[in-house]
Structures are given as structure tokens and as C-alpha cells.
């Protein structure tokens, strides 16, 4: 009964097609049939000869791309639950022995403007699903241009030295899961992983909602 009342006041909408669905669903049945977890994994780069991998349930295309844009720019928070659930499936498939979950932060200026940090919200949900604690370990010290507004060759330069580690003692010798929303060139994840490794992290494992699989 309570579920019925709640779903009347706060209708639970499908994060992909916006149809109204039952109160405890993450995605509607019709979209579930169209969308599958691709369980992508690739080596993003090497740090000190150690490969750093990224895993994602999806590619950045079609229905998923539209859904991510709503999540990132229109603050559709119900999307976070679905994305976090799918990402957790992929994370559990490939990674184990994680000490904590952390995320690629946005600058405080941008957080004030947007009112939320999408990677932080994903991380909170993933941390609960995979039962690994969450720690905020990186801060963004400069409000640089948004990566998606830049040409590929400008992106690497744009984020050099804009990240800083908070609480170095917590990081030493740890296996860290690093969350970002979308992995395009991998430059942002690389810069954050480098920052964590320089601060003494043992291994950094990356995950995003989508990535390019080539």
C-alpha cells in the first residue's frame, strides 16, 4: 500500500525511456530487453610499467548516451541507481580485494553550479552494492575547461596537475577503485590514477558507465 502511495506521489521513471514503472524497478521491462551489459575491459595506460585497467557495462551510444546526458546535465538522479547497479556487476566480474572506492571529482565551483557531483553519487551507490567503503581522496584544484568541450589533442594538457590527493596516509599500499562517469580518451582517469599512485597507492582499478572499446 505504501509503495502504491509513494509511486503515485513520486512516480519512478525508467532511466532510459522515461515511462512510469513499479516503485522498486531500476529499468522498465521493455528497455531491459534492449540493453545488455557488455562487460567491457581494457588497458587504459601503464604507470611504472603497471597496467591500469578500466571496466564499463556500456559503450557511449544510443539509448545509454541519451540517458547519461539526462543524468549529467539535468540532474536525473534516478539514473544513478541503474548505472551504479550495472557498473557494480562489471566491477564484481573483473576486480577483487578492493580496499576502498573513490571518484574523479568536479571542481567546487562546478559543484555549486550543478548542485551535485555525478561521479560521487555513483560511487556512493556502488560502495553500498559491492560492500567496499567509500573515501573521498582527490580534490580538483582548478576550474579548468570541461573536457567534452575540447578537441582530443587539447584534453591531455587541460587536466595536467589539476588534481590533488587528500589524506595521503589513507592511500599508501591500498587497492583503490576509481570511478568516473564517462571514459572517452581516458586522460582524466589517467591523471587521477597517477595522482593516487604517486601518493603511494598499490593498485588503481578504474570503472566508468561507458567507454570506447577499441
Q: Which stretch binds Zn ion (CB under 5 A): 7-15, 73-81, 165-173, 201-209?
A: 7-15
Q: Which three cell numbers stand for residue 121?
A: 553519487
The answer to the question of residue 182 lying near Zn ion (CB under 5 A) is no
Contact (Cβ atoms closer than 8 angstroms) between residue 46 and residue 55: no
- CB of 13 or CB of 202, closer to Zn ion: 13
With CB under 5 A as the rule, give the number of residues binding Zn ion. 5
Q: Which of 4, 6, 12, 16 binds Zn ion (CB under 5 A)?
A: 16
Alpha-carbon span 114 to 130, nearest angstrom: 27
Q: Please report which residue ranges of the chain form alpha helices under DSSP H.
A: 2-9, 29-34, 62-73, 78-94, 108-114, 118-130, 152-158, 187-198
Closest approach, Cβ 30 to Zn ion, in A, equals: 5
User: How many C-alpha atoms does 198 have within 13 Å on its Cβ side?
Assistant: 12
Closest approach, Cβ 80 to Zn ion, in A, equals: 16
Contact (Cβ atoms closer than 8 angstroms) between residue 60 and residue 208: no
- CB of 16 or CB of 132, closer to Zn ion: 16
- CB of 28 or CB of 189, closer to Zn ion: 28
Closest approach, Cβ 86 to Zn ion, in A, equals: 14
Q: Which three cell numbers stand for residue 139?
A: 580534490
Closest approach, Cβ 135 to Zn ion, in A, equals: 34
* Interface with Zn ion in residues 19-58 (CB under 5 A): 28, 31
CA end-to-end distance (rounded Å), the chain: 49
Q: Which of 12, 14, 123, 176 binds Zn ion (CB under 5 A)?
A: 14
Q: Which three cell numbers stand for residue 46?
A: 601503464
- CB of 78 or CB of 175, closer to Zn ion: 78
User: How many C-alpha atoms does 150 have within 13 Å on its Cβ side?
Assistant: 16
Cα 118 to the center of its chain, rounded Å: 7
Q: Which of 7, 17, 45, 47 binds Zn ion (CB under 5 A)?
A: 17
Binding site for Zn ion (CB under 5 A): 14, 16-17, 28, 31
Amino acid at each position: 500500500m505504501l509503495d502504491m502511495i509513494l509511486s503515485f506521489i513520486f512516480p519512478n521513471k525508467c532511466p532510459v525511456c522515461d515511462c512510469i514503472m513499479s516503485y522498486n524497478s531500476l529499468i522498465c521491462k521493455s528497455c531491459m530487453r534492449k540493453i545488455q551489459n557488455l562487460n567491457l575491459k581494457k588497458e587504459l595506460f601503464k604507470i611504472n610499467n603497471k597496467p591500469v585497467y578500466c571496466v564499463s557495462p556500456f559503450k557511449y551510444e544510443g539509448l545509454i548516451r541519451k540517458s547519461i546526458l539526462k543524468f549529467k546535465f539535468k540532474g536525473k538522479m534516478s539514473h544513478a541507481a541503474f548505472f551504479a547497479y550495472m557498473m557494480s556487476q562489471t566491477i564484481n566480474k573483473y576486480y577483487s580485494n578492493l580496499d576502498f572506492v573513490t571518484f574523479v571529482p568536479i571542481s567546487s565551483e562546478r559543484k555549486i553550479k550543478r548542485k551535485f557531483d555525478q561521479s560521487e553519487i555513483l560511487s556512493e551507490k556502488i560502495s553500498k552494492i559491492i560492500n567496499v567503503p567509500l573515501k573521498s581522496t582527490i580534490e580538483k584544484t582548478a576550474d579548468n575547461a570541461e573536457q567534452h568541450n575540447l578537441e582530443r589533442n587539447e584534453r591531455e594538457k587541460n587536466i595536467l596537475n589539476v588534481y590533488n590527493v587528500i589524506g595521503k596516509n589513507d592511500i599508501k599500499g591500498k587497492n583503490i577503485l576509481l570511478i568516473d562517469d564517462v571514459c572517452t580518451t581516458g586522460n582524466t582517469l589517467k591523471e587521477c590514477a597517477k595522482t593516487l599512485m604517486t601518493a603511494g597507492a598499490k593498485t588503481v582499478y578504474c570503472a566508468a558507465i561507458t567507454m570506447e572499446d577499441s
